[in-house]
Homo-oligomer: A and B are copies of this chain.
């Protein structure tokens, strides 16, 4: 864990612009520079593509990635019931609680947890349990659009990634190395 003078921060990357998960990946690079073990839990399966997953391998064994969830929720080809998604999210919460309270990781990243919460897959009570498990010197990062007000209230650092301009506005498709 970080030395005793470290004050762990609760950080939130939210908003509808690109850069939230990308910044979380960047935090992994920085943490690895300190030889910290990092636990990264991805709450929405399928939101990460080949490039990210492969690139992260270069940061192993420091960065430990856990992909939970059952893929996108409510999208056209989503034929799973709410209960299936909900129980996957619950497994994610359980894992997050275990990992955070193990106190082994100076940095824990909960990718797209805000989205899982907004979709009703994670309850406020569960979300708060996860936050409460954090020890004083541990940094916790929560990403995803739609961060709830009570989370922003509680956080030490909140950045809203605001979309000023997006390639789809020009009719440009998702691009390798940027979107996947």
* Interface, chain A (partner B; CB < 8 A): 2-3, 6-9, 11-15, 17-34, 36, 50-59, 106-107, 139, 152, 155-167, 170, 172-173, 175-178
Determine whether the beta carbon of A34 is less than 8 Å from that of B177: yes
Copies in the complex: 2
CA A147 – CA B72 in complex, angstroms?
Answer: 34
Contact of A167 among B2, B32, B157 (CB under 8 A): B157
Determine whether the beta carbon of A176 is less than 8 Å from that of B27: no
CA A158 – CA B164 in complex, angstroms?
Answer: 5
CB of A25, distance to nearest CB on chain B (Å): 3
Determine whether the beta carbon of B159 is less than 8 Å from that of A7: no
Determine whether the beta carbon of A175 is less than 8 Å from that of B7: yes
Sample of 26 A–B contacts (CB below 8 Å):
A11-B178, A14-B164, A15-B162, A19-B26, A22-B30, A24-B26, A25-B29, A26-B27, A29-B56, A30-B55, A30-B178, A32-B54, A32-B55, A32-B58, A33-B57, A33-B58, A34-B55, A34-B176, A34-B177, A36-B177, A155-B165, A157-B178, A158-B165, A159-B161, A159-B164, A161-B161
